[in-house]
Amino acid sequence: MASGADRRLFWATAAGVVALDIVTKIVAVATLARRPLELVGDYVVLRLVYNRGAAFGLDLGDASRWIFLGLAIVALVVLGLMVRATRAGDKLRLLALALVCGGAFGNVIDRLRSAQGVVDFIEVGIGRYRWPTFNVADSAITVGAVALAISLWLEGRAHERAKEAGTAAP
């Protein structure tokens, strides 16, 4: 990540995710503590939940907070190394990594801030079939992970095409 424009794109995106995550969690705690809010019937409901575990409610008991905090910090270090290794001008990769980093950092803040767990408040589903409740950080991580997978796949295809053509990959 050589250029200043690349660094600005990465940091602005990551900071934007963290800021939006913090603000929406503050609003969720302040407004949803008494009762949930149906946005689109019971298909999209804002419901305050505290998640002490990880994605999909994975819980490792009393140590969950610290185990998942440690894992998130390790993930952020690995992601940071990926950011540094990203080719200048690879905006898709930088945006993807910024989304994942911003989301991970947003949830790290919650784990440090409160023993209650990460604030989740977006619930979607049909009838009794519900997706686990999530937040803005979780959404950013998911979108970023999909974009990162696409970026890596496209890079692999370009490398294969270059190899077939008998040239070095870009």
Q: Which listed residue (6, 21, 110, 120) is catalytic?
A: 120
Q: Which amino acid is at 82?
A: M
User: Cβ(124)–Cβ(139) under 8 Å?
Assistant: no
Task: Give SS3 for 50.
Answer: strand
CA distance 95 to 116: 31
120 given a catalytic annotation: yes
Q: Which listed residue (6, 21, 110, 138) is catalytic?
A: 138
Structure tokens at 53: 């575990």
* 128: phi then psi, degrees, rounded to nearest 5: -85, -5
Q: Characterize the bridge pairing of strands 37-40 and 129-130.
A: unpaired
User: Catalytic amino acids?
Assistant: 120, 138
